Amino acid sequence: EAGVAQSPRYKIIEKRQSVAFWCNPISGHATLYWYQQILGQGPKLLIQFQNNGVVDDSQLPKDRFSAERLKGVDSTLKIQPAKLEDSAVYLCASSWARGQNSPLHFGNGTRLTVT
């Protein structure tokens, strides 16, 4: 079974620039998550999709972050404009369903550095 694919692995941008991350979940997984992990902290949920619908984006800074999941498969997360505090690893995860008994599978993440 292929894992969760993310790209790029690394990205360095200047503040106020824009950036986009891509995620391809495990085939058949209906639920997709974007997490932000700042160095020394645990992952923080930004947004959760069930198929192509958003089910939780309560912690997404909507003034600068946006995400979409077209056709219920791939997803993109965009930051525009970036701030220094956005420097973090952005982790995409998927699970076959919502709910407590469906474990998350993480991708390798995208490490973003904002200078």
Partner 1 sequence: QKEVEQNSGPLSVPEGAIASLNCTYSDRGSQSFFWYRQYSGKSPELIMSIYSNGDKEDGRFTAQLNKASQYVSLLIRDSQPSDSATYLCAVTNQAGTALIFGKGTTLSVSS
Residue ranges in contact with partner 1 by CB under 8 A: 33, 35, 40-45, 48, 55-56, 91, 98-101, 103-109
**4 closest CA partner among 90, 70, 88, 66:** 90
Which of 35/65 has CB closer to partner 1?
Answer: 35
- Min dist CB 16 to partner 1, Å, is 28
Tell me the C-alpha distance between 29 and 87, whole Å.
28
Decide if 112 contacts 90 (C-beta within 8 A). Answer: yes
- Min dist CB 55 to partner 1, Å, is 7
- Min dist CB 94 to partner 1, Å, is 12
Number of residues assigned to the chain:
115
Which of 17/107 has CB closer to partner 1?
Answer: 107
Which of 19/91 has CB closer to partner 1?
Answer: 91
Which of 17/22 has CB closer to partner 1?
Answer: 22
Residue 115 burial (10 A CB sphere; 0-12, 13-18, 19+): exposed
